[in-house]
Chains A and B, each alone.
Chain A
Amino acid sequence: MNDMTSPDHDRPPCTMACPILTDGREYIQLIAERKFEKAYAAIRGLNPLPRVCGRICTHPCEGACKRGQVDEPIAIAALKRFASDGPWRGRCKALQPAEPTGHKVAVIGSGPAGLAAAHDLALLGHHVTVFEALPVLGGMLRLGVPAYRLPKDVVDEEIEAICDLGVVMKTGVRIGEAMKLKDLFDQQYGAVFVAVGAHQERKLDIAGADAFEGVVSAISFLQRSNSGQNPKVGRQVAVIGGGNTAVDSARSALRWGADAVRILYRRSRDEMPAAPEEIEEAVAEGVHLSVLTSPVEVLGEDGKVTALRCMENRLGQPDANGRRSPDPMAGSEFVLDVDMVIAAIGQAPESSFFAQELELDQRSHRIVVNEAGATVCPGVFAGGDAVTGPATVIQAIAAGKERACAIDLYLKKKWHPVPGPARSDERERLSSAIIEKTRKFERAKKICLPMDRRLKGFEEVEAVLTEDRAISEALRCLHCFLGAKIDKDKCVSCLTCLRVCPLQIPRASKMGEITIDPFECQACGMCALECPVQAIDIDLHPRGDIDREMTAAMSRSAHPDPLMVGFFDLHGDFGPSDKERLRQEHPNILPVMVFGLRRIDTVDILKAFEWGAQVVFLAGCPVEKDPFPETREAVKQRMARTKTLLNALGLDGERLALCHMPKQGLVDKAFIEDLEERVKEMAPNPMGVKRG
Chain B
Amino acid sequence: MITLEQKPFEEIEKMTKGCGRLLVLGCETCAAMSLAGGKKEAEVLAAAIRVARKMSGDKSEVLYDAVARQCEPEFIDMTEKEVAQCDAVLSLACGAGVQLLAERFPDKVILPGCNTTFLGVTERLGVWSERCAGCGNCILDKTAGLCPIARCSKQLLNGPCGGSVDGKCEISKEVDCVWQLIIDRLTKLNRLEMLEEIFPVKDWSPAGHGGPRKMVREDLES
| A–B in direct contact per CB < 8 Å | yes
Q: Spell out A's residues near B (CB within 8 Å).
A: 490, 492, 494-496, 499-500, 530-534, 601-603, 606-607, 609-610, 644-645, 648-651, 686-687
Find out whether the CB atom of B39 lies under 8 angstroms from the CB atom of A533. yes
Known contacts A492-B33, A496-B35: A649-B52 contact under CB 8 Å: yes
Minimum distance in angstroms from A607 CB to a CB of chain B = 7
**Chain A, residue nearest B13 (CB):** A648
Find out whether the CB atom of B35 lies under 8 angstroms from the CB atom of A532. yes
Instruction: Name 8 A/B residue pairs within 8 A (Cβ), A-sorted.
Output: A492-B38, A532-B39, A533-B66, A603-B44, A606-B47, A648-B8, A648-B9, A649-B13
**Chain A, residue nearest B54 (CB):** A687
- State whether the Cβ of B50 lies closer than 8 Å to any Cβ in chain A: yes
**Chain A, residue nearest B52 (CB):** A649
Find out whether the CB atom of B40 lies under 8 angstroms from the CB atom of A610. no
- Secondary structure at the B interface, as helix, strand, loop or mixed, is helix
Closest 10 CB pairs of A and B: A532-B38, A648-B9, A499-B125, A532-B32, A494-B33, A606-B47, A533-B38, A603-B47, A533-B28, A534-B39
Minimum distance in angstroms from B65 CB to a CB of chain A = 11
Contacts of B47 in A (CB 8 A): 602-603, 606-607
**Chain B, residue nearest A606 (CB):** B47
Find out whether the CB atom of A603 lies under 8 angstroms from the CB atom of B32. no
Report Cα–Cα, A425/B68, bound state, in Å.
Answer: 44
**Chain B, residue nearest A491 (CB):** B28
Report Cα–Cα, A650/B10, bound state, in Å.
Answer: 10
Segment 104-157 of B: residues with Cβ below 8 Å from A: 122, 124-125
Segment 22-72 of B: residues with Cβ below 8 Å from A: 26, 28-29, 32-33, 35, 38-41, 43-44, 47-48, 50-52, 54-55, 66, 68
Find out whether the CB atom of A500 lies under 8 angstroms from the CB atom of B51. no
Minimum distance in angstroms from A511 CB to a CB of chain B = 16
Minimum distance in angstroms from B3 CB to a CB of chain A = 12
**Chain B, residue nearest A493 (CB):** B33
Report Cα–Cα, A607/B48, bound state, in Å.
Answer: 9
Find out whether the CB atom of A499 lies under 8 angstroms from the CB atom of B40. no
Report Cα–Cα, A336/B39, bound state, in Å.
Answer: 79
Contacts of A532 in B (CB 8 A): 28, 32-33, 35, 38-41
**Chain A, residue nearest B48 (CB):** A645
Contacts of B8 in A (CB 8 A): 648
Contacts of A490 in B (CB 8 A): 28
**Chain A, residue nearest B56 (CB):** A686
Contacts of A601 in B (CB 8 A): 44
**Chain A, residue nearest B125 (CB):** A499
Find out whether the CB atom of A610 lies under 8 angstroms from the CB atom of B44. no
Known contacts A602-B47, A606-B47: A533-B32 contact under CB 8 Å: yes
Partner of B55 from the list A500, A533, A686 (CB cut-off 8 Å) is A686
Known contacts A531-B40, A532-B39, A533-B39: A649-B51 contact under CB 8 Å: yes
Find out whether the CB atom of B40 lies under 8 angstroms from the CB atom of A648. no
Find out whether the CB atom of A648 lies under 8 angstroms from the CB atom of B10. yes
Contacts of B52 in A (CB 8 A): 649
Contacts of A533 in B (CB 8 A): 26, 28, 32, 38-40, 66
